[in-house]
Every structure is written in structure tokens, then in C-alpha cells.
Amino acid sequence: MANAKSPVETLTEEEAAAELAFLAAEIARHDELYHGQDAPEISDADYDALKRRNEEIEARFPALVRDDSPSRRVGSAPLATFAPITHARPMLSLDNTFSDEDVRDFVASVYRFLGRLPDDSIAFTAEPKIDGLSMSIRYENGRLVTAATRGDGTTGENVTANVLTIAEIPNRLPAGVPAVVEVRGEVYMAKSDFLALNEKMAAEGRQTYVNPRNTAAGSLRQLDAAVTASRKLRFFAYAWGEMSAMPADTQYGMIEVLKSWGFPVNPMTQRLFRVDDIINHYREIGLARPDLDYDIDGVVYKVDELALQERLGFRSRSPRWATAHKFPAEQAFTTVERIDIQVGRTGALTPVARLTPVTVGGVVVTNATLHNADYIEGIGNSGERIREEDHDIRVGDTVIVQRAGDVIPQVLDVLMEKRPAEAHRYEFPKTCPVCGSHAVRERHEKTGRLDSVTRCTGGFVCRAQAVEHLKHFVSRNAFDIEGLGAKQVDFFFEAEDPSLTIRTAPDIFTLEKRQASSLTKLENIDGFGKVSVRKLYDAINARRSIALNRFIYALGIRHVGETNAKLLARAYGTYEAFATAMKEAEGLSGEAWNDLNNIEGIGEVVARAIVEFYKEPRNLDVLGRLLEEVTPEAAEAVVVSSSPVAGKTVVFTGSLEKMTRDEAKAMAERLGAKVAGSVSKKTDLVVAGPGAGSKLDKAKEFDVEVIDEDGWFELIKG
Ligand code: IVH
């Protein structure tokens, strides 16, 4: 193939054809990295250069334009589209632990929650944490009916056709299995298969893959199941979702059952009783790790007895009965070539080290976050030293970088003996590099300490903030508008023609109308086409009705991430109720303010941020226009409707003897009740143990029903 740098005029037809083939594959790969995996390998400028080169060659050799040419592809985002599947039971993630001490804490917390004494014996299972993709596979009457990726935990993608091609996953289960069986586990690619695939790719002069995990993900998210079939994917079963009947009553027993049904299970799974044995097994798995034919990134511990798992229940995203003990991160040396500043959605100026590319644990690292000005200096978030004095990070420094799992790589330390004589202290900008507004470090109201974050004060004036806001708004866990990725948002934001610009969220929903009466047609613009434009409008229109928690999350209110958005949606039920309450809470006092603060999990900083958001006229203006286009659905009542305490506000007081306080709270929440810390007019029920004091008096004052622990168990029995 001709050197990619040779001028288009000098290319022979043969060279041009070869290069077009290369560019089609290469651009498709970058599209997938960017849109499908959120892991771009090249800058936007380099990506554009590839597209331009492709177009220039096509302009000279129109006969060579390929069917799969990037210039023909719609919206530049050839996203595989899979139908969504809502999981019968959510697919949760795991909490991480990093040290032996963390593990001891985890085990102790299980004992504490269950009110067990240390010399009681609780069994745990310990098994490798496979670095692949989790999958939920549903069988009805013994036949595989659907397979879904984890997605956001609630809804995943229907990849049934692809999973049917994985030889290690049975399509039928033996006779006598329960009518509904959902098997969960990890799809992965063996290291040996990955290396063989890469050798083949290299031999064919094609781009090689980065690591087995991403390759497995890419292989699975192929619309053409034949491609999945050609890649050898494998599977380990380790969990389950909905089951119409439980064939065992322990984790270990369930794994044995899954094995007997024909699923591969990990041979290193063990049942252990003592923390020391658990930690020992972790070390053994760590020692075996390099010789395994698959990547693992830690060891998962689970409480063995399912009845205890049930009692322990879940926090918002992860079970209390399990944790992942991660292996230490991998490290490497490299040099800092440059320090860039990125401006985020909330105006935070984040310094990023551009590094000489280096491989850390099998992945090429070129960037590392430097977090903030203090971090560069060697000072941590609480003002503590995190590196020796003088070990500030400078351009030209040789540094140790660390990568742990999916976390953004970090710069840990500087090798002082390698510091070039001319390297000088990094000066953190005093103005926003995008809009030029002052950049300030706020002072914490209470502690008086300087905030670690330097923020652009430009607000809506700052293009970077506005663009990041939009990207957040359309992102996967917010409005999730297909065909409107980061690249397209940049394009619409910069577009000058009024029928094309999108500067605020409501503009997204007026685009089609504005386009209808305009002569500048989107479909004639590079990177778009008739089909992709239609698809884009359809994707936008499909979101005119949206779950309340997604809507709230999409607003990009500071401190309101997915978890808090869900809490708010659940607490207020409808958008109107939420918005009205936020306006009523304006003075940071009164009933609405108290209610907001009483939501379990919403602290004062978050409450304040939400109320402040609703005070800003500009936000209200955008919201007003947005609500003309979009309807947030009322939150689904997550309450167990049959539960007699569903929707009630309960206060536990006094000393409880039959359950720990944590357990009581978790139990009530599982049954759909809200648990409050203090008694008010809104309290429905007080559960009082011996020694209850002022809360009991309050309950009498407000005429709230009071029961004891036995009464509680009686009540929830129904
Ligand atoms: S148990 C409710 N066991 O790790 C807990 N997860 O960080 C269900 N994973 O999403 C998960 N190996 O994709 C479990 N042996 C194992 C695992 C494992 C890998 C993945 C899984 C999960 C993620 C959580």
C-alpha cells in the first residue's frame, strides 16, 4: 500500500483502492471506539484528517468508492442497534476493596449487619473476578429465549442471536430445570484466542486489537452474528437473575447446579469460613493469574447462604453481601510531554498530562488526569501531602503512571533524578482557556479551606461548559439520543445557520421543525445523509417522553448523578411535584426544604445545589422551553404494592433486639417504606424498642402510630 502521506495526485489506481480499503476499516474502527466504547484512540483532528484523505482519494477515483465507504455511512456513527431488554431483576455491580484491611472491614460489616458475634461462623465463597462483559441469559422451559448485556443495570441490549453462537453456552437445559431460569455470568475471550486473532490481523496487514475485553465486547456487539461466531467467545457462570424455583440454598450450591446444567464455572471457586483463609485464597489466585488463559482483575467474595444474602440486601448499586477484592494496579514509567487544561460541564478546569505513549498492563496510555492544581503540587484533597516535597509534576518530568481497571490513568510520582534542568514549575491558568473568564478556587463556606477545583466563572458564556452540558444531556444514561454523540454535538453547537444550531437542550427538539422550513438541509452536509437524518429525528422524537430520573439526571445539576436523580424521582413521583418543591425550598428553610433534606441519601450540599439550580433564571428559561417539547413520565412506583408499609414514612427508635438498626432500615426500604431519622407530622409509623425517649414523645404529640418490634414483624408479614 502507498504511504498514507503520498500526495493523492501521485497515487496509482491500485494504491488508491488499497488505501480506500484501509481507510474504510480504520475509520470504522475509530467510529466504534468513539461511539461504541467511549474510548477514542486518536484526536478529533486526526480523525478528521483520515476522513478528508478518504474524500480526496474518492474525488480523484470516483469509480473506486466502496459500498462501505465512510463517506456513505450515515451520521458517521455506524452504531449497532440492538433492541433494549429490561432485566427481570436489575444487574448490579460490586463494591471494590483494595487491601486486606478493607476485606476485614467487609467481613466485619456483614457480621455487624446481621448482628452476629465474631466467633459465629459465616461462610463466604471466593472466586476470580473475570475481566469480560456480564451477560444475562434467560431460559424458558429449558430453552434459551433471550440474552442481554448489562447496559445500565436496568436495561441492556438484546444480543440473543450473538450469544446463540457461543459454543460454551447451552441453548437447551436438561429436563427438569425450573420453568424460568436466568443465568448470569461473564463472556470473555481467552488470551490465546486473542493473540491468535491479532496474529491473523497483523498477517493481513490489518489493525490489531487492544485487549481481549474490548475485542470480546466488539465481537458481541456485531449486528452480524456470523462475525460473533467467527470469534471464539467463552463464558463463566457465577450468578442468576429471575428463577421460578431455587434449586439450591447457597451460592456454592447454585454454582454446582449451574455446572450440572452444562455451564462452565470457574474451577478456582472455593467456600471459606475465615478471613485469613479468604485472603490466602486471594493470594493464591493472584499467583496463578499470569498463567491463566483469561484476564482477571480481582477476586469476588460473596456470603454463601442465600437466606443471609436476602437479609443483607442491597445498597443503591451493589449488594451488601459481596465485594470485589481488586488486584493492585499496574505501573510504568514515561515522560510528561505537555499539560493541557480541559473545561468540564460545571466549569471545572482539569489538567491532563499528555504522555509519551507507554504500555501499562497491556493498554497503551497517552493521557493521565492530574485532577487539579493541588495534585500537581503533590497535595491531596484533604490538604495532605501525597508526594514528597519538590515532587511537583512538570513538563519534561519522567513519571510513574498507574492504571487500575477502567479508571483513568494516574500520575503517581516523579523521578527526581531524571528531572531536566530546564523544567519549571507548572503555572496553573488564572483564566479559562476556552472563554477567558476568570478562573477561581472557591472557599468552603464552613471549613474556610480553598476548594481543590479551579472553576471557570463564565457559566453559560463559556462554550466549553455549554457544549459539555449538551453532551451530558444526550449521554447514554441521560436522554441517550442515538446519532447525537459528542462529535455531532460539537457540529450542531458550532453551526452558524439558525436552522442547524443547537446551543441548549430544547434546541435538539426543535431541530426537525427548523429544518423543515430551511434551505440549508442537514442531509446535504458532510457526514450526514437522508437516512441518517431521518434516524436522528426518530431518535430525538422517541425521547419526547422520558423517565423522570433520566430527565432529572440530564439537567446536569451539580452533585446530582444517576443515584441521586433516582432518589429524587422516587421521592417526588412527578416532575411537577419536584419542581414545585424546589421552588418552595428556595429560602433553604421550611417544609419543602426539610422534606428534601429528609430524603435518605440526599445531603445538604446536594440539596443546596438543586435549590440553587432552580433559582437561576437562565435555567428556568431553558427548562420552560424544554418542557414544551418533552414530557417527563411519572416515576414508577418502586414500592412493593402488596407491602403494608409501602409508601409510608417510618422511624425506628430505642434499642432494637431482633434486628440491627441497619437491617431494620434496609428491610423497610425493601418493602417500599421511607425511613426517616426524626419524627414529624409526616411520619406514619414509629417502631420503638426499649429505652425510646424524645422520639416517642414527639410521636404522641403528633398522634403517630407507635408499635414495638414484634408489632413490626407482625405487620410486615401482611
Ligand atoms: S457477581 C450482584 N462474580 O464484575 C453481583 N461479578 O464489578 C453480581 N464480574 O458486573 C456480580 N466476575 O460483570 C460477580 N465472579 C464474579 C464476577 C463478576 C466478574 C463482573 C460482573 C459485574 C462486575 C461488578
Instruction: Please give the pLDDT value at position 377.
Output: 95
Q: What is the three-class DSSP state of 560?
A: coil
Instruction: Please give the pLDDT value at position 37.
Output: 63
Task: Show the beta-strand stretches assigned E in 109-190.
Answer: 124-130, 133-140, 143-149, 155-157, 180-188
Residues 605 and 659 in one domain: no
> Do the Cβ atoms of 357 and 374 come closer than 8 Å?
no
pLDDT tens for each residue of 423-478: 999 999 999 999 999 999 988 766 777 888 999 999 888 999 999 999 999 998 89
Question: What stretches of 352-438 show up as alpha helix (H) in DSSP?
Answer: 373-377
Express as a percent the part of the chain with pLDDT over 90: 61
Question: What stretches of 158-274 show up as alpha helix (H) in DSSP?
Answer: 160-163, 191-203, 212-220, 225-230, 251-260
212 within a domain of the structure (yes/no): yes
Domain with 674 in it: what CATH number? Answer: 3.40.50.10190
pLDDT tens for each residue of 190-248: 999 998 888 888 777 777 776 788 889 888 888 778 888 888 899 999 999 999 999 99
User: 322: CA distance to ligand 1 center in Å?
Assistant: 9
Strand partners, 155: 86
Domain with 610 in it: what CATH number? Answer: 1.10.150.20
Compute the distance between CA of residue 360 and CA of residue 354 in angstroms, rounded to an integer: 15
Residue span of the structural domain in which 711 resides: 649-717
Compute the distance between CA of residue 295 and CA of residue 290 in angstroms, rounded to an integer: 9
Confirm or deny that 621 is annotated as ligand binding: no
Say whether pLDDT at 626 is over 70: yes
User: 240: CA distance to ligand 1 center in Å?
Assistant: 11
Q: Is the CB of 239 under 6 A from ligand 1?
A: yes
Closest CA to 555 of 478, 501, 629, 653: 478
pLDDT tens for each residue of 255-268: 999 999 999 999 99
Closest-CA residue, ligand 1 atom 21, reads 134
Q: What is the three-class DSSP state of 314?
A: strand
> Could you say which of 51, 129, 665, 695 is catalytic?
129
Cα Rg of the chain, angstroms: 28
Residues of 17-43 as b/e, b for ≥16 C-beta within 10 angstroms?
Answer: bbbbbbbbebbeebbbbbbbeeebeee
Domain C-terminal end among 573, 600, 633: 633
Q: How many domains does one find in the chain?
A: 4
| Residues shown for the chain | 718
Residues 217 and 150 in one domain: yes
The preferred substitution site among 89, 96, 134, 259 for testing ligand 1, maximizing ligand atoms within 8 Å of CB, is 134
Instruction: Please give the pLDDT value at position 546.
Output: 96
Closest CA to 332 of 379, 298, 364: 364
Residue 129 annotated as catalytic: yes
Closest-CA residue, ligand 1 atom 12, reads 129
Assign 74 a pLDDT band (cuts: 50, 70, 90): very low
Residues 564 and 668 in one domain: no
In which element (H, E) is residue 545 found? strand 545-547
For the ranges 142-146, 655-659, 701-705, the lowest mean pLDDT is seen at 655-659
Mean pLDDT, to the nearest integer, of 557-567?
Answer: 90
Residues 605 and 705 in one domain: no
404 within a domain of the structure (yes/no): no
Closest-CA residue, ligand 1 atom 23, reads 93
Q: What is the three-class DSSP state of 443?
A: strand
For the ranges 79-88, 345-354, 452-461, 633-642, the lowest mean pLDDT is seen at 633-642
Compute the distance between CA of residue 491 and CA of residue 195 in angstroms, rounded to an integer: 38
Question: What stretches of 630-683 show up as alpha helix (H) in DSSP?
Answer: 661-670
> Do the Cβ atoms of 84 and 156 come closer than 8 Å?
yes
Instruction: Please give the pLDDT value at position 638.
Output: 52
Q: What is the three-class DSSP state of 527?
A: coil
The preferred substitution site among 91, 124, 130 for testing ligand 1, maximizing ligand atoms within 8 Å of CB, is 130
115 within a domain of the structure (yes/no): yes
Half-sphere exposure of 445 (CA within 13 A, CB side): 3
Domain C-terminal end among 326, 342, 361: 326
Q: Is the CB of 187 under 6 A from ligand 1?
A: no
Instruction: Please give the pLDDT value at position 406.
Output: 56
User: 301: CA distance to ligand 1 center in Å?
Assistant: 10
Residues 94 and 241 in one domain: yes
153 within a domain of the structure (yes/no): yes
Q: Is 255 left (phi over 0), alpha (psi -120 to 50) or beta?
A: alpha
Q: Is 134 left (phi over 0), alpha (psi -120 to 50) or beta?
A: beta
Pairing of strands 685-688, 705-707: parallel
Compute the distance between CA of residue 223 and CA of residue 82 in angstroms, rounded to an integer: 8
Confirm or deny that 646 is annotated as ligand binding: no
Which grid coordinates are listed for 23?
A: 481507510
For the ranges 115-124, 171-180, 233-242, 401-410, the lowest mean pLDDT is seen at 401-410
Half-sphere exposure of 15 (CA within 13 A, CB side): 14
User: 408: CA distance to ligand 1 center in Å?
Assistant: 20
Ligand 1: which atom is nearest the Cα of residue 96?
A: 7
Domain C-terminal end among 522, 542, 562: 542
Q: What is the three-class DSSP state of 615?
A: helix
Closest-CA residue, ligand 1 atom 10, reads 93
Question: What stretches of 224-372 show up as alpha helix (H) in DSSP?
Answer: 225-230, 251-260, 275-288, 306-312
Q: Is the CB of 319 under 6 A from ligand 1?
A: yes
Which grid coordinates are listed for 412?
A: 503517581
| Residue carrying C-alpha cell 490466602 | 280
The preferred substitution site among 89, 91, 94 for testing ligand 1, maximizing ligand atoms within 8 Å of CB, is 94
Residues 165 and 187 in one domain: yes
Assign 77 a pLDDT band (cuts: 50, 70, 90): very low
Other CB atoms within 10 A of residue 521 CB: 14
Q: What is the three-class DSSP state of 649?
A: strand
What dihedral angle (degrees, nearest 10) is formed by the CA atoms of 348, 351, 357, 358?
-90
Assign 73 a pLDDT band (cuts: 50, 70, 90): low
Say whether pLDDT at 99 is over 50: yes
Q: Is the CB of 186 under 6 A from ligand 1?
A: yes
Residues 144 and 236 in one domain: yes
Confirm or deny that 302 is annotated as ligand binding: yes
Compute the distance between CA of residue 626 and CA of residue 507 in angstroms, rounded to an integer: 8
Instruction: Please give the pLDDT value at position 530.
Output: 92
Q: Is the CB of 135 under 6 A from ligand 1?
A: no
pLDDT tens for each residue of 469-518: 999 999 988 999 999 999 999 999 999 999 999 999 999 999 999 999 99
Residues 90 and 219 in one domain: yes
Burial class (CB in 10 A: 0-12, 13-18, 19+), 680: middle
**Residues whose CB is less than 8 angstroms from the CB of residue 702 and which lie 6 or more positions away in sequence, other chains included:** 679, 680, 681, 683
> Do the Cβ atoms of 410 and 402 come closer than 8 Å?
yes
Closest CA to 169 of 198, 133, 126, 196: 133
532 within a domain of the structure (yes/no): yes
Q: Is 483 left (phi over 0), alpha (psi -120 to 50) or beta?
A: left
Residues 196 and 287 in one domain: yes
Is the pLDDT higher at 237 or at 636? 237
Q: Is the CB of 315 under 6 A from ligand 1?
A: no
Residues 524 and 555 in one domain: no
Residues 557 and 680 in one domain: no
Residues 626 and 682 in one domain: no
Helices (H) and strands (E) in the chain, counts: 24, 24
53 within a domain of the structure (yes/no): no
661 within a domain of the structure (yes/no): yes
Q: Is the CB of 130 under 6 A from ligand 1?
A: yes
Question: What stretches of 555-693 show up as alpha helix (H) in DSSP?
Answer: 562-572, 575-584, 591-598, 604-615, 617-629, 661-670
Compute the distance between CA of residue 705 and CA of residue 684 in angstroms, rounded to an integer: 7
Pairing of strands 705-707, 674-675: unpaired
The preferred substitution site among 129, 182, 299 for testing ligand 1, maximizing ligand atoms within 8 Å of CB, is 129
Domain with 123 in it: what CATH number? Answer: 3.30.470.30
What's the start-to-end Cα distance of the chain, in Å?
75
pTM of this structure: 0.57
Assign 3-class secondary structure to 26-38.
HHHHHHHHHHHCC
User: 694: CA distance to ligand 1 center in Å?
Assistant: 44
| Residue carrying C-alpha cell 445523509 | 529
Measured in whole angstroms, how far is the alpha carbon of residue 113 from the centre of its chain? 28
User: 82: CA distance to ligand 1 center in Å?
Assistant: 23
Confirm or deny that 127 is annotated as ligand binding: yes
Compute the distance between CA of residue 661 and CA of residue 113 in angstroms, rounded to an integer: 8
Other CB atoms within 10 A of residue 160 CB: 18
Backbone angles phi, psi at 360, to 5 degrees: -120, 115
Other CB atoms within 10 A of residue 624 CB: 10
The order of strands in the sheet holding 270-272 is 96-97, 322-326, 296-303, 124-130, 270-272
Q: Is the CB of 157 under 6 A from ligand 1?
A: no
Measured in whole angstroms, how far is the alpha carbon of residue 493 from the centre of its chain? 25
Mean pLDDT, to the nearest integer, of 673-681?
Answer: 87
Burial class (CB in 10 A: 0-12, 13-18, 19+), 710: exposed
> Do the Cβ atoms of 695 and 678 come closer than 8 Å?
yes
Instruction: Please give the pLDDT value at position 186.
Output: 98
| Residue carrying C-alpha cell 495526485 | 9
682 within a domain of the structure (yes/no): yes
> Do the Cβ atoms of 435 and 459 come closer than 8 Å?
no
Which grid coordinates are listed for 614?
A: 432552580
Confirm or deny that 93 is annotated as ligand binding: yes
